[in-house]
Amino acid sequence: MDLPDREQWPDYYDVIEAPIALSTIRDRVKAGKYRKWELFEAELGRVFSNAKRYNAPKSQVYKDADVMQSLLRGFADE
């Protein structure tokens, strides 16, 4: 949901070039910042890609991100 704490997970910010959290996207939705689906879709996709890049493929976080990324792609294809 939120970005990892920099003190607890400093390597996250070395591995992930463009961090973004679901809470950031939620706040942007509430503020009406997304005028186009493509921007919303791209930022959600970045959340899932970042999760998969940082976490081990057998971790639950990776698996959840993979499922959500697949669902997002399904919506984009419609």
Q: Exposure pattern of 17-42 as b/e (b: 16+ CB <10 Å)?
A: eebbebebbeeeeeeeeeeeeeebee
Work out the average pLDDT over 11-27: 96
The pTM assigned to this predicted structure is 0.88
Tell me how far apart the alpha carbons of residues 12 and 52 are, in angstroms, rounded to a whole number. 12
CATH topology of domain 12-77: Histone Acetyltransferase; Chain A (1.20.920)
Residue 73: what pLDDT?
82
Residue of 62, 52, 1 whose CA lies nearest to 26? 1
Residue 78: what pLDDT?
60
Residue of 34, 36, 37, 13 whose CA lies nearest to 24? 34
pLDDT tens digits, one per residue of 49-78: 999 999 999 999 999 999 999 998 887 666
Give domain limits for the chain.
12-77
Tell me how far apart the alpha carbons of residues 63 and 52 are, in angstroms, rounded to a whole number. 8
For residue 67, what are its two tokens? 């499922």
